[in-house]
Amino acid sequence: MTKLRLAIVGAGPAGIYAADILLKSERKFDVSIDLFEQLPAPYGLVRYGVAPDHPRIKGIITALRDVLDRGDIRIFGNVHFGTDITLDDLKKHYNAVIFSTGAVRDADLDIPGIDLDGSYGAADFVSWFDGHPDVPRTWPLEAESVAVIGNGNVALDVSRILAKHAEDLLTTEIPANVYEGLKKSPVTDVHVFGRRGPAQVKFTPLELRELGELRDVDMIVYDEDFDYDEASKTAVASNKQVMVIDRVLQKWRERETGQASRRLHLHFFAKPLEVVGDENGRVQAFRYERTRPDGQGGVEGTGEIREVPIQAIYRAVGYFGSPIDGVPFDDKHGVIPNHEGKVLSGDDNDLLHGVYATGWIKRGPVGLIGHTKSDAMETVSHVINDQASWWSPEDPSEESIPALLTERGVRFTDLDGWHNLDQHEMALGEPEGRVRVKVVARGEMVNVSRGEDEPLTDSDINGPAPKHASATPADASPKSDNGQAPRHAAPQTGAGAGDSAFEGGSEPAKPTASQPVSLSDLD
């Protein structure tokens, strides 16, 4: 019987579900699947994109672990695609490849001053507080007043972690360096800005309620934002989720405030105009235009300009995919160009036989875990039906890949290694009554996984040097900021990460749903 040797690049939910669906599908051939991940640990954004105080979402890991623990999928961690292994290598050893590398960079927000010192992307910050090995170990938390732009769940995660007292995170898997950084934060006010009104926000009721449960944090909402038009009233009356959100916000309007040491402000009807800088090129204020309902569920400008003094600002306006070496990439939309998961080559949109995509790198950073599964089913069905156009590898033996990586000096990790790391992290947390304490240094993760004791590098100990990250489509790579102090750059995880449940949304009709964020996309 014919055997399909399949490589999947990215060990987040998208990649793991694709492997699982293929193995369970009706087919007339055997299957052998190798999963490649550039981090020493699997699960993508479920491990590195969910706030540490959200353990219920991390329950997704249980389902993913059950798939891997069956033993019919090999995983090669700590393998960088494009350097440790290339597309040409895959063609020599596999019949096809599915890319499930996700979308891990911050989408761009094109307003003046967004690149000032003190302006950050939410994805960068999330990677830091989740202990990603490829970000600096410290984060600049000197601001007393902070702005967060966006009205999705990621914006709420960022604002909650900024406002929450560090000691209230000690029961979670928060890394030690993150706790120490947050403990020293002088923040007193966190301002969250959204372009539209309370009835149009994208966050979910559960995430919103959590803000009101923060210890010693006052929730501040403004009466002027609740003069609903008919479209908003209809949304509240007809949509259960909107109704619950409105109920929570209305209760906050009635709360007495003024006793807490920190405040979290929710500003609606605020269209971003500019991040204002001081004479030293640092963030000084956030300038926005007050909007109002347009009577049709949207908003229009009022011409009223307002300014809020701040010292730091975070844009939480969406994720954006990253180019993959040797694979076509749509710079405008941040996805691999494809038709139903079949990758298209060049400007002529010819099919690139043997190359497929799934998850956020296929459709853009939208949708919940259910969308990830249906998305993977579509891609896998094409892999099965395209048998006639599979690659013909020179050496499809399963022994060839570990031999190749070993020859190149790659300290790859496997499933047993992940079990070692998983158990080690849980053991670290046990004395303190925590589920785990996450190991942050890549070298230490690899040592624990492989049972080795190689010396750690400066990068392992301190993390990489901070970089500036801009997700503008014209230049996907991190770049400096005209001589200003560089900002942190979001790590390239190489995992189909975000394909979990972070930003709500419906399944898009086509991949172009992931285009860079404009002001009209800000809710």
201-243 per-position pLDDT tens digit = 989 999 999 999 999 999 999 999 999 999 999 999 999 999 9
Tokens of 322: 């990253």
CA atoms within 13 A on the CB side of 268: 23
pLDDT in tens, 33-69: 999 999 999 999 999 998 999 877 767 888 999 999 9
User: Backbone phi, then psi, for 148, in 5-degree steps?
Assistant: -125, 120
Tokens of 420: 């070692």
Using CA atoms, how far apart are residues 497 and 360, in angstroms rounded to an integer? 8
Cα-based torsion angle of the residue sequence 368, 374, 379, 383 in order, rounded to the nearest 10 degrees: 140
Q: Is 151 marked within a binding site?
A: yes
Tokens of 312: 């730091």
- Strands 312-315 and 119-121 turn out to be parallel
Tokens of 1: 């019987």
Between 442-450 and 415-429, two packed helices, what is the crossing angle to 10 degrees?
110
Q: What is the reported pLDDT for 12?
A: 95
Q: What percentage of the chain carries pLDDT values higher than 70?
A: 88
Q: Is 45 marked within a binding site?
A: yes
Is 50 exceeded by the pLDDT of residue 509? no
What strands lie across the sheet with 350-357, from one edge to the other? 73-76, 30-36, 3-9, 96-99, 350-357, 342-345, 338-339
Cβ neighbours for 436, distance < 8 A, ≥ 6 positions apart = 173, 422, 425, 426, 428, 429
Class of domain 3-104+320-415: alpha beta
Q: Is 209 marked within a binding site?
A: no
Q: Is 96 marked within a binding site?
A: no
- Strands 189-193 and 342-345 turn out to be unpaired
Show the DSSP H helices in 283-414 as ranges. Answer: 360-363, 369-385, 400-407
Instruction: Assign 3-class secondary structure to 443-461.
Output: HHHHHHHHCCCCCCCHHHH
Higher pLDDT, 54 or 122: 122
Using CA atoms, how far apart are residues 124 and 135, in angstroms rounded to an integer? 8
What DSSP string runs through 152-190? Answer: SHHHHHHHHHHHS-GGGGTTTT--HHHHHHHHT----EE
Decide if 90 contacts 355 (C-beta within 8 A). no
User: What is 108-317's CATH number?
Assistant: 3.50.50.60
Decide if 143 contacts 186 (C-beta within 8 A). yes
Helix H or strand E encompassing 289:
strand 283-293
Q: Is 152 marked within a binding site?
A: yes
Q: How confident is the model at residue 485 (pLDDT cuts 50, 70, 90)?
A: very low
Q: Taking Cα atoms as reference points, which of 348, 323, 337 lies closest to residue 478? A: 323
pLDDT in tens, 434-449: 989 999 999 999 999 9
Whole-model pTM: value is: 0.87
Question: Could you identify the residue written with the tokens 């235009």?
Answer: 289
Tokens of 469: 């990250």
User: Within the chain, which residue ranges are assigned CATH 3.40.50.720?
Assistant: 3-104+320-415
Q: What is the reported pLDDT for 58?
A: 67
Q: Is 368 marked within a binding site?
A: yes
Q: Is 141 marked within a binding site?
A: no
DSSP code at position 482: T
Q: Is 37 marked within a binding site?
A: yes
Using CA atoms, how far apart are residues 358 and 496, in angstroms rounded to an integer? 8
Query: Helix, strand, or coil here: 226?
Result: helix
pLDDT in tens, 318-376: 999 999 999 999 999 999 999 999 999 877 789 999 999 999 999 998 876 668 889 99
